[in-house]
Amino acid sequence: MPEVIFILVILILLVIITNIKIVPQANSYVVERLGAFHSCWDVGPHFKIPFIEKIAKKVSIKEQVVDFPPQPVITKDNVTMQIDTVVYYQITDPKMYAYGVEHPMSAIENLTATTLRNIIGDLELDETLTSRELVNTKMRSILDEATDPWGIKINRVELKNILPPREIQDAMEKQMKAERERREAILKAEGEKKSAILVAEGEKESKILAAEAEKEAAIKKAEGQAEAILKVQQATAEGLKMLNEAAPTDAVLTLRSLEALKDVADGQATKIIIPSEIQGIAGLATSVKEILSDK
């Protein structure tokens, strides 16, 4: 009898221990009692009544990411493309998530595909390629509203890849290449234009500077000549002044006149007219010379 009691105690302890559940962080357990929803266990230890309660679903309430495979979509201008999407979602109501829809991820994938086709169907190819943000915003709004009854919140939706047909990709690459070549030609032409302008401006500045230099040289030369003439005139005036102050005789003046005539002739004149007064002085000088020689 004691052995049976011991065994029963051990079994009861095992049942109690095995029915103590600890909910980890960022998780929630959906608990059913006798087949009906009873409660949602949050973080911490909980005790489950054996054979009456059961954990129907373990739910992670962390933000999760799901990458759906590429979906074929047709644009407004009848271009078929492959687009894959990435959805960031979070479970906000474990009860609604557990009982709202069967296979929630499959439901979200199908809903994403149909929503994407509807949005892209209203856009042309160029608009699709340049309106990612618009498509992302519309899809997030539509998916968030549709998944709200399932206890799921859609935080973000991103178009991961947009793959047009091969021939359209080739045409787009050619167009981009032509655009790059056009921009390169424009930049080259603008560079040559600026270079020509700079060269012309440099030549203009050079000519202006040369003209100004010639002008300055001419001015300096004229100023030098004027200063030289002024100096000569001043010297002449000083000589005349000194001559007047010395009160020279007629003979001295006549000799100075002869010296002046010598300078005037300078070996170049063929005929010189000498005043009579100077001729007389010259004759007198000759007579004096002869007398002195006889002695």
pLDDT value, residue 248 = 59
Closest CA to 151 of 99, 107, 73, 112: 99
C-alpha 21: how far from its chain's center? 60
pLDDT value, residue 275 = 55
pLDDT value, residue 2 = 76
pLDDT value, residue 243 = 63
Q: How many CB atoms lie within 10 A of CB 61?
A: 18
Q: Per residue of the chain (295 residues), what is the pLDDT tens digit?
A: 678 888 888 888 888 888 899 999 999 999 999 989 999 999 999 999 988 999 999 999 999 999 999 989 998 888 888 999 999 999 999 999 999 888 999 999 999 999 999 999 998 888 888 888 999 999 999 999 999 999 999 999 999 888 888 887 777 778 778 888 888 889 888 888 898 888 888 888 888 888 888 888 888 888 888 888 888 788 777 766 776 666 655 555 565 555 555 555 555 555 555 555 545 554 544 444 444 444 4
| Residue 64, SS3 per DSSP | strand
**Residues 221-244, buried b or exposed e (16+ Cβ, 10 A)?**
eeeeeeeeeeeeeeeeeeeeeeee
pLDDT value, residue 283 = 52
List for the chain the helix, strand, coil content (%; round to 5).
60, 20, 20
Residue with tokens 């002195």: 292
